[in-house]
Structure 1
Amino acid sequence: MSTTGHRTHEAGETTVDTDVIVVGAGPTGLLLAGDLAAAGLDVTLVERRPAGRSNLTRAFGVHARTLELLDTRGLADALEATGTKLTRMRLFGRLSLDLGRLPSRFDHLLITPQYEVERLLEQRAADAGVTFRHETALNGLRQDADGVTAELTGPGGTPLTLRARHLVGTDGHRSTVRTALGLPFPGSSVIRSIVLADVRLTDEPAGSLTVNGTGDSFTFIAPFGDGWYRVMGWDRTRQVPDSEPVDLEEVRALARRALGTDHGMHDARWISRFHSDERQVPAYRVGRVFLAGDAAHVHSPAGGQGMNTGLQDAANLSWKLIAVHRGEAPDPEALLDSYHSERHPVGAMVLRSSGALVRLAMAHTPATRALRAVATTVLGAVRPASAKAIGMISGLGISYAPAPGAGRTSGRRAPDVPLREGRLHELLRAGEFVLIAPDGAAPALPPLAPTTAARVVRATWKDPARRTTALVRPDGYVLWSSR
């Protein structure tokens, strides 16, 4: 299926043909590129930064649904060895959410730096054959009926043209792909002058994520598990530009104000100041170009859902592009359109939920404090309410609209059920659909399946009492079930 080739123009500019161009080598782009290359597509990953990773990272939490997706790629266990598992989230001083109730093998929040996620995904992408082009910037793009042409500048200012059937922008909140498409990024800043630090503590808090606020300030602390802690804080009375210097004493003062103690913070290895926006692009697909991750949506850091949502975008899009490039999708355009129809509502939901959390943390008027008290009481006392909140934050509660006539479980996350051939997540590591049937049954693929019978992984329920049949998508959601 690969269209790979090279052409040299008279002016010295080189055109490289590939199947898919991915712009942006953060977690979203790395997972997507690795998936595509593992399926046999020729993939070029374009990144402005030089090769190598930095530990200057804001993302630090990996939720249960993301860990499940990494498990289906054989990476979850290695990632879990890099961080610490939190089974409870403490919010607003008195609300404690029990993650141990999550219906998953990963009944926790994993605290680990983003660079650990990138390290594993980058190695996987390289092993799969992704072509990396570092120190390369996108200048513009154009589309036609057959593909996308990307105009780039490589190392030393060398001009380069890449030609592909599809292009995906995973290049962050300042996305050059989004700008080249002329798409708006409506929204506003939800919170300014947030300070961030990675520190060591003399007086270590309890081993759970700690969040508290006074209305005029808030602070949270999360352990990485290696002796370092991530601290984030905000002060309503100190709203300054991102460029304003920040030192450890400012971080200590914020912690004392919100938590009553700074826990003896010392030896900061990184301190920065930033602001957080709530924005979402109106279209995740424009012709042959797609947007994913922060290029498509940004929101407050509350709930730690940013990197997770981007990785889940990538998992949703990758198998659809693979099916189209293989020529196996009954309706290619409808399948590619479903990326937007499934993931745009999820991005909107994350904006709402993370925005609600940060606004409750910032509550300072009597009315908003009363609202926070009510929300805290309900979430703490009403089990269905807390389960729904945890499900949304963890990603386990996300589902998609069922396909017509595809069965009542269509669009739902498939649990990691035990099968005679192994766990479902282990079988999904092939990157293909998994067809689960009762013992002795040999069902045909439903007509709507964007794959071929030769590629499907066939499995049998371990429980002989189960008589249903289910076709599970490569991203772990049910495409079709017999009832």
Structure 2
Amino acid sequence: MDRNVDVVVVGGGPAGMTVAGDLARLGRSVAVVEKWPTINPSSRAFATMARTLELLDARGMADQLLATSTTTPGINLFKGAKLDLTHLRSRYRFAMITAQTNVDQALELYAKDQGADIHRGIALVDLVQDDAGVTLTARPKDDDNPSSTMTWRAKYVVGADGAHSTVRDLVGMDFPGKSVLSSVVLADVKLTAGPHDGGLTLGDTPREFGFFAPYGKEESDGAWYRSMTWDRQRQVPDSDPVGEAEIVDSLNRAMGRDVGVVDVGWHSRFHCDERQVRDYRSGRVFLVGDAAHVHSPMGAQGMNTGIQDGVNLAWKLGAVLAGADDSILDTYHRERHPIGKQVVRRSGLMMRAVTLHPRLARFMRDRLAAHILSIPKVRDLVAGSFAGTELRYPSPDGQSDLAGTRATEVPLHEGRLTELQRLPGFVLIRERANTSTMQKPGPDLLVQAQRKDDGPALLVRPDGYVAWAGSSTSRSGDEGWPAALSRWTGAR
């Protein structure tokens, strides 16, 4: 017997749970199918960037996560060069350091609280779409008994099932790209001589690199860090066991000193690819997160990009399910594919810079990076691109240049925009001087506010980006905010 739902999300990681929670918050029926029975306790990501924290705040999760995490004001790079996050245009002028497991748990609880139906230990085995919907077949993981088969009928499917996506394979989407770095080792290590400022620290030589992220778990004999190491002279398959001596030796050589490793916990060897699908949509099926793009771990972009993919897609699915034109769903690819492409390139450039071998090239890199990142405008642009706060979407033809920009930092009499967006829907921000009666809220325009600074009125999308800018009293033709709201939601 089919289970009929609006959307099936395949994959219960951070991107998938974001989509599920947001859709359920909109009152849509959502099922999550995840093959692993529990949240992975040894996930790779450890840094949550400012833009992601803003989105988590809009769902009431940021403060709770920050209370049990550490933060860092920047990343110490090559020979004094630093990626400085303290000048970000954000409330969160830092990166939050916590295991991805903690973010996963918060997002799963969010999805459950909103009403998403979560099925763990269930693996997708088939997917067939037609003009009216998608039929999915799944079974308990490692169970080939036909009697255990489960089926869903959904209007749309979101593939959030990672780099080895079953959804992507079943719809026949290529994943072009290549492997770019092999035999990278992640580990949890206890140190007695970690970074002096407690921040994210990179060390490298022509042979290897090492990276530290403080977890803040201090004990009498040291503090715990997540480390990442790579050794040019030890390139082995992912299946080769990781020895503690390998981790200790690589860290000490990369940092140029004895970092005082007194214990090694969880560890894993992996390789990284640079790949991206050509289209994030195939009919009624959409890809988010690692199912759509994978890249170097440099810059801590993976989990953050996936969550931002999910936020962008979910409200658009909700709008179409509520009656908006299906073409709105094409804007998911148009907006997020270029961002994914930037992330692949940016993290790849950083990886290649870290693994440079010729000494002259490394010398020039060190000098150039320190100089460039000391220029305030360049510093802030680079930091904002990694943090996600300087990313924007293309402004539609005929729209204000503000359309597609992030509205999160506009000062409001009513408080933070992210607090107002804990109710789903568009937000109308009126000019400071506008004292007319507020527009009556509707199903799509749920919240209204007023600027504390000079600037135009803004219609803000549910993901925090500007849909329209102008005069809030204008109602004629395509110039007014009601017309912009109608284009996105079908509301009249």
What TM-score do the two structures reach when normalised by structure 1? 0.92
Instruction: Map Cα deviations across residues 296-338 of structure 1 (whole Å, 9 max, x no partner).
Output: 00000000000000000000001000000111x2x322x1000
Q: State the secondary structure of the residue aligned to 1:315.
A: helix
Q: CA deviation at 1:379?
A: 2.5
Q: CA deviation at 1:370?
A: 4.8
Aligned partners of 1:216, 1:203: CA distance in 2, in Å? 22
Report if the CA contact (8 A) 1:303-1:357 is conserved: yes
Aligned partners of 1:444, 1:180: CA distance in 2, in Å? 47
Q: CA deviation at 1:102?
A: 0.8
Question: Which AA in structure 1 matches 2:435?
Answer: G
Q: State the secondary structure of the residue aligned to 1:457.
A: strand
Report if the CA contact (8 A) 1:82-1:116 is conserved: no
Report if the CA contact (8 A) 1:420-1:459 is conserved: no
Instruction: Map Cα deviations across residues 371-430 of structure 1 (whole Å, 9 max, x no partner).
Output: 523541332332222211111100011100012233220000113333222211111110
Matched with 1:5 is: none
Report if the CA contact (8 A) 1:152-1:161 is conserved: yes
- 1:442/1:317 CA distance change after superposition, 3 Å: farther
Of residues 272, 285, 289 in structure 1, which corresponds to 2:268? 272
Report if the CA contact (8 A) 2:89-2:409 is conserved: no
Matched with 2:482 is: none
Q: 2:69 aligned with 1:83, yes or no?
A: yes
Q: Which moved more, 1:175-184 or 1:400-409?
A: 400-409
Of residues 466, 471, 478 in structure 2, which corresponds to 1:478? 466
Aligned partners of 2:13, 2:443: CA distance in 1, in Å? 33
Matched with 2:109 is: 123
- 1:98/1:313 CA distance change after superposition, 3 Å: same
Of residues 428, 439, 459 in structure 1, which corresponds to 2:448? 459
Matched with 1:436 is: 429
Report if the CA contact (8 A) 1:437-1:467 is conserved: no
Of residues 384, 408, 412 in structure 1, which corresponds to 2:405? 412
- 1:441/1:457 CA distance change after superposition, 3 Å: farther
Matched with 2:486 is: none
Report if the CA contact (8 A) 2:277-2:292 is conserved: yes
Q: State the secondary structure of the residue aligned to 1:165.
A: strand
Question: Which AA in structure 1 matches 2:25?
Answer: A
Matched with 1:223 is: 214
Aligned partners of 1:467, 1:230: CA distance in 2, in Å? 44
Matched with 1:287 is: 283
Matched with 1:397 is: 390
Aligned partners of 1:48, 1:368: CA distance in 2, in Å? 45
Q: State the secondary structure of the residue aligned to 1:316.
A: helix
Q: 2:192 aligned with 1:198, yes or no?
A: no
Report if the CA contact (8 A) 2:273-2:296 is conserved: yes
Aligned partners of 1:172, 1:20: CA distance in 2, in Å? 18
Q: CA deviation at 1:262?
A: 3.9
Matched with 2:302 is: 306
Matched with 2:22 is: 35
Question: Which AA in structure 1 matches 2:32?
Answer: L
Matched with 2:4 is: 17
Matched with 2:169 is: 179
Q: CA deviation at 1:367?
A: 5.6
Aligned partners of 2:436, 2:205: CA distance in 1, in Å? 61
Matched with 1:332 is: 326
Q: CA deviation at 1:132?
A: 1.1
Report if the CA contact (8 A) 1:434-1:473 is conserved: yes
Q: 2:51 aligned with 1:65, yes or no?
A: yes
Q: 2:35 aligned with 1:48, yes or no?
A: yes
Q: State the secondary structure of the residue aligned to 1:100.
A: coil
Aligned partners of 1:241, 1:324: CA distance in 2, in Å? 46
Aligned partners of 2:371, 2:408: CA distance in 1, in Å? 28
Q: Which moved more, 1:361-370 or 1:207-216?
A: 361-370
Q: State the secondary structure of the residue aligned to 2:15.
A: helix
Q: State the secondary structure of the residue aligned to 2:233.
A: coil
Aligned partners of 1:116, 1:208: CA distance in 2, in Å? 20
Aligned partners of 1:211, 1:412: CA distance in 2, in Å? 32
Aligned partners of 1:380, 1:296: CA distance in 2, in Å? 31
Aligned partners of 1:216, 1:142: CA distance in 2, in Å? 49
Matched with 1:10 is: none
Report if the CA contact (8 A) 2:182-2:235 is conserved: yes
Q: CA deviation at 1:44?
A: 0.3
Matched with 1:296 is: 292
Aligned partners of 1:440, 1:419: CA distance in 2, in Å? 14
Aligned partners of 2:251, 2:462: CA distance in 1, in Å? 44
Instruction: Map Cα deviations across residues 156-177 of structure 1 (whole Å, 9 max, x no partner).
Output: 5411111100000000000000
Question: Which AA in structure 1 matches 2:345?
Answer: R
Q: 2:181 aligned with 1:188, yes or no?
A: no
Q: State the secondary structure of the residue aligned to 1:422.
A: coil
Instruction: Map Cα deviations across residues 228-259 of structure 1 (whole Å, 9 max, x no partner).
Output: 20011001011000011112111110011110
Q: CA deviation at 1:443?
A: 7.9
Report if the CA contact (8 A) 1:55-1:115 is conserved: yes
Aligned partners of 1:389, 1:418: CA distance in 2, in Å? 24
Corresponding pairs, count = 459
Report if the CA contact (8 A) 2:137-2:151 is conserved: yes
Report if the CA contact (8 A) 1:93-1:211 is conserved: no
Q: CA deviation at 1:264?
A: 1.3
Q: CA deviation at 1:454?
A: 3.9
Aligned partners of 1:199, 1:377: CA distance in 2, in Å? 29
Matched with 2:84 is: 98
Aligned partners of 1:81, 1:171: CA distance in 2, in Å? 29
Aligned partners of 1:457, 1:393: CA distance in 2, in Å? 32
Aligned partners of 1:458, 1:34: CA distance in 2, in Å? 20
Aligned partners of 2:57, 2:306: CA distance in 1, in Å? 17
Question: Which AA in structure 2 matches 1:304?
Answer: A
Q: CA deviation at 1:190?
A: 1.2
Q: State the secondary structure of the residue aligned to 1:320.
A: helix
Q: Which moved more, 1:403-412 or 1:290-299?
A: 403-412
Aligned partners of 2:97, 2:253: CA distance in 1, in Å? 24
- Structure 1 stretches of 4+ with a deviation exceeding 6 A read none
